[in-house]
Amino acid sequence: MAPVKVTKICCIGAGYVGGPTCAVIALKCPHITVTIVDLNQARVDAWNSPDFKLPIYEPGLDDVVRQARGRNLFFSTDVDKGIKEADLIFVSVNTPTKKSGVGAGFAADLNYVELATRRIAHVSESSKIVVEKSTVPCRTAESMRTILEANSKPNCRFDILSNPEFLAEGTAISDLFGPDRVLIGSLQTPEGKDACASLAGVYSNWVPTNRILSVGLWSSELSKLAANAMLAQRISSVNALSAICEATGANIDEVAHAVGYDSRVGNKFLRASVGFGGSCFQKDILNLVYLSESLHLPEVAAYWRQVVEMNEYQKKRFSKNVVDTLFNTITGKRIAVLGFAFKADTGDTRESAAITLIKDFQAERALVNIYDPQVEHNQIWADLTEAIPNTPLENIKKQVTISASALEACKGAEAVVIATEWKEFRDIDWALVYEGMNKPAFVFDGRLIIDAEKLRKIGFKVKTIGRGERV
Ligand SMILES: NC(=O)C1=CN([C@@H]2O[C@H](COP(=O)(O)OP(=O)(O)OC[C@H]3O[C@@H](n4cnc5c(N)ncnc54)[C@H](O)[C@@H]3O)[C@@H](O)[C@H]2O)C=CC1
Ligand SMILES: O=C(O)[C@H]1O[C@H](OP(=O)(O)OP(=O)(O)OC[C@H]2O[C@@H](n3ccc(=O)[nH]c3=O)[C@H](O)[C@@H]2O)[C@H](O)[C@@H](O)[C@@H]1O
CATH code for the domain of 95: 3.40.50.720
Do residues 260 and 381 share a domain? yes
Average pLDDT over residues 134-141: 92
Indicate the residue among 207, 240, 263 that finishes a domain.
Answer: 207
395 and 304 within one domain = yes
Q: Are residues 193 and 288 in the same domain?
A: no
385 within some domain: yes
Is 16 annotated as a binding-site member?
yes
Rounded CA separation 21/173 (Å): 8
* Domain-embedded: residue 269: yes
- Is residue 237 within 6 Å of ligand 2 at its C-beta? no
Total domains, the chain: 2
Query: How far, in Å, from the CA of 266 to the mean position of ligand 1?
Result: 31
The 10s digit of each residue's pLDDT in 304-353 is 999 999 999 999 999 999 999 999 999 999 999 999 999 999 999 999 99
Among 207, 239, 272, the domain boundary falls at 207
Question: How many other CB atoms are found less than 10 A from the CB of residue 320?
Answer: 12
Residue 282 and residue 400 share a domain: yes
Q: Is the CB of 343 under 6 A from ligand 2?
A: yes
pLDDT of residue 471: 58
Considering the domain architecture, whether residues 313 and 381 belong to the same structural domain is answered as yes
Q: Within this chain, do residues 94 and 168 fall inside the same structural domain, yes or no? A: yes
- CB neighbours of residue 435 within 10 Å: 13
If asked whether residues 128 and 226 sit together in one domain, one would say: no
132 or 1: whose pLDDT is higher? 132
pLDDT of 469 above 90: no
Residues 260 and 370 grouped into a single domain: yes
377 lies in some domain: yes
217 in a structural domain: no
Residue 213 domain-assigned?
no
User: Which residues form the catalytic set?
Assistant: 280
Position 106 scores a pLDDT of 87
Which atom in ligand 2 lies closest to the alpha carbon of residue 170? Answer: 10
* 67 C-alpha to ligand 1 centroid (Å): 23
**Are the beta carbons of 417 and 368 closer than 8 angstroms?**
no
344 located within any domain: yes
CB 228 near ligand 2, within 6 Å: yes
Domain that holds residue 450: 222-471
pLDDT of residue 155: 87
> Residue 294 — pLDDT band, cuts 50, 70, 90?
very high
Pair (322, 462) in one structural domain: yes
- 112 with 243, same domain: the answer is no
Q: For residue 194, tell me if it sits in a domain.
A: yes
Same domain? For 190 and 267 the reply is: no
H-type alpha helices, 187-216: 190-203
- One domain, residues 275 and 131: no
Asked if residue 280 has its Cβ within 6 Å of ligand 2, the reply is yes
- Contact at 8 Å (CB) between 61 and 20? yes
Q: Strands of 8-12's sheet, edge to edge? A: 73-76, 33-37, 8-12, 88-91, 128-132, 158-162, 182-186, 212-216
Ligand 1 atom at minimal distance to the Cα of residue 164: 42
